[in-house]
Chain A
Amino acid sequence: MTYLLHRVLWTLPVVWGVVTLVFLLVHLVPGDPAQIMLGENALPGDVSALRSRLELDRPLAEQYGLFLGRVLRGDVGRSFISQRPVAQEIAARLPATAELMVGAMAVALALAFPLGVTAALYHGRWPDRLASLFALLGVAMPSFWLGPMLILLFAIRLDWLPVNERGGLDNLVLPAVTLGTALAALLSRMIHASLLEVMGEDYIRTARAKGLGERAVVWGHAMGNALIPVVTVAGLQIGVLLSGAIITESIFDWPGLGTLLLDAINTRDYPVVQGCVLTISITYILVNLATDLLYGWLDPRIRLHR
């Protein structure tokens, strides 16, 4: 319980720091944000009206206080383009991004498990080398190259899968593979390394000495412990998927949080940019917190050591 409380309290200053940095973002704009949002030819009256709407005409400390207060109430302002509350805009886009992330995680796990386990069981032989090659290439391959290549092969040449629309499961395949491949590469390496390490432990030798078959040793004894570090890495990578989704969404015109952020950047809609950045990073912090707590629950030694 102390561990839980300690870990939760630890998160609060980080959240505060993130909110502060996101607040400061608009103040990093070179020049007057209101002028830049409206363009060079805007009338001075319009610029000062927008400045006042964005509270930029107040002292910095007061702006900060107002921003903190609004964030606490879940209100990050109104979109400059659509005039709708930013929170509503984000809520409308979240399901698409969540769907993409679940798809990508499923692809990553489906690829990483067989590859990682095979590599560990055939350590030093050709299946291991093949899996290592996949891991090396998967990490180095940019998603913004893989995506177009998948479109070229499966949508244009073979005409097997649709592209550029959100809808059924077949529409999700290409974006999910694009986003999930790098994670699959990373996880397969983790599963490989973790399983190899566990297979060298004394209790595995004992299990073998008792006469257990290899299948029972791997699945009954080794896998559970080997998965603990993999769960942590997979959890921490959810945030990376969230930011990777920005690129994948732009490749496939996927109507999620990433395309909302990129559109907002292009139209200089700063409240939406702030809202998206805040949503993505707070989600990341919460997922990390949940992963840490899960890790502590899975492996009691962690709780005692901290």
Chain B
Amino acid sequence: MSRQTRALWMLSGLLGVVFLLPGVLAPWLAPYDPLGVDLLHELELPSLAHPLGLDANGADILSRLIHGARISLLVGFSSVAASAVIGVTLGLLAGFYGGWVDQLLMRLVDIFLAFPGLLLAIALVAVLGPGLSNVVLALALLGWTGFARLVRAQVLAAMGREYVLAARALGAGPVRLMARHLLPNVAAPLLVQSSFAVAGAILAEASLSFLGLGAPPGTPSWGAMLSEGKEVLWEAPHVSLAPGLAIMGVVLGFNTLGDLLADWLDPQRRHS
């Protein structure tokens, strides 16, 4: 096993153990109720019973952090899945048909890209109302352009290749060509892009929740926990510390996973 393959497996395992597993098993793993209220012990410092301390409502921060992983996981993966479906479909159509279809779709991409950063997601959640399903919808509409551009470029490059010409000569129709021949060809870069997109979506969800536009009040989302922590920064900085490190760790993890995947899936880069 090469060094890169080993690093890839180690990082995937690490992300699985510290993020995916707690996210999926949150109800069984969390030692306390994440919504619990205990005003007698509010803002208590870390102790053996509560390793990360208690927040302003007296809820156990570790339990909230574990349940927060579930929200990040859910929003991160579902919004990226939705953006990928939209982006891949439109990118395939643009690259395959070219001409006015391509022109129209790429101008649409340009329009969506004219809203910098989170602005479009903020605007959409502002009118649709806060809530996690609206956040997923907004992030899906924010993220599809990256997938569309990537797939279009890959398809354009593949259109003149022998295997596509051969499939055409054998009578493959447009749907079969796109689904059976072109799509598998873009799978590798798509996987890399998805890893970066999950990191971006988790950060975006946390940002929206921090601004009060994501998870409903009280929900243990990491961004909302940071927003609550900001209010008690003076007397209880421990409330802000853990959620911030969690966001940073997961975003760093998925970004690095994307880098490693890109190297691993590209034979030229693997051997360089």
Count, chain B residues at interface, CB 8 A: 43
Query: A4 interface residue, CB < 8 Å from B?
Result: no
Complex contact B255–A139 (CB within 8 A): yes
Give the chain B neighbours of A270 by CB distance below 8 A. Answer: 127
With A and B bound together, what is the CA distance between A285 and B119 in angstroms? 13
Query: A115 interface residue, CB < 8 Å from B?
Result: no
Complex contact A25–B240 (CB within 8 A): no
Complex contact B122–A261 (CB within 8 A): yes
Majority-rule SS of A interface residues: helix
Complex contact B111–A18 (CB within 8 A): yes
Complex contact B111–A145 (CB within 8 A): no
Smallest CB–CB gap between B8 and chain A, Å? 17
* A29 and B127 contact, Cβ closer than 8 Å, known pairs A17-B107, A144-B207: yes
Contact indicator per residue, chain B 247-270, by CB within 8 Å of chain A (1) or not (0): 111011001100000000000000
Complex contact B119–A149 (CB within 8 A): no
Closest B residue to A28 using CB positions: B127
Complex contact A18–B244 (CB within 8 A): no
Query: A280 interface residue, CB < 8 Å from B?
Result: yes
Given contacts A17-B111, A261-B122, A277-B115, 13 further A-B contacts (CB under 8 A): A17-B107, A25-B127, A26-B127, A28-B128, A140-B248, A144-B227, A145-B244, A152-B240, A242-B116, A243-B116, A246-B122, A277-B123, A280-B115
Give the chain A neighbours of B117 by CB distance below 8 A. Answer: 239-240, 242-244
Contact indicator per residue, chain A 7-29, by CB within 8 Å of chain B (1) or not (0): 00000011101100110011011
* A137 and B123 contact, Cβ closer than 8 Å, known pairs A14-B110, A247-B211, A265-B213: no
* A284 and B107 contact, Cβ closer than 8 Å, known pairs A144-B226, A148-B230, A273-B123: no
Query: B124 interface residue, CB < 8 Å from A?
Result: yes
Give the chain A neighbours of B229 by CB distance below 8 A. Answer: 148
With A and B bound together, what is the CA distance between A295 and B251 in angstroms? 32
**Which 3 pairs from chain A and chain B are nearest by CB?**
A145-B244, A243-B117, A17-B111
Majority-rule SS of B interface residues: helix
* A280 and B116 contact, Cβ closer than 8 Å, known pairs A14-B111, A262-B211: yes
Closest A residue to B234 using CB positions: A156
Contact indicator per residue, chain A 137-180, by CB within 8 Å of chain B (1) or not (0): 10111101110110110001000000000000000000000000
Query: B165 interface residue, CB < 8 Å from A?
Result: no
Complex contact A140–B116 (CB within 8 A): no
Query: B25 interface residue, CB < 8 Å from A?
Result: no
Query: B96 interface residue, CB < 8 Å from A?
Result: no
Give the chain B neighbours of A280 by CB distance below 8 A. Answer: 115-116, 119
Smallest CB–CB gap between B4 and chain A, Å? 17
Contact indicator per residue, chain B 115-133, by CB within 8 Å of chain A (1) or not (0): 1111100111011110000
Query: A200 interface residue, CB < 8 Å from B?
Result: no
Complex contact A18–B116 (CB within 8 A): no
Complex contact B248–A137 (CB within 8 A): yes
Give the chain B neighbours of A35 by CB distance below 8 A. Answer: none
A-B contact pairs, 19 of them (CB 8 A): A17-B107, A28-B124, A28-B128, A136-B256, A140-B251, A141-B248, A142-B207, A142-B226, A145-B247, A148-B230, A149-B244, A152-B240, A243-B117, A244-B117, A265-B213, A277-B123, A280-B119, A284-B114, A285-B114
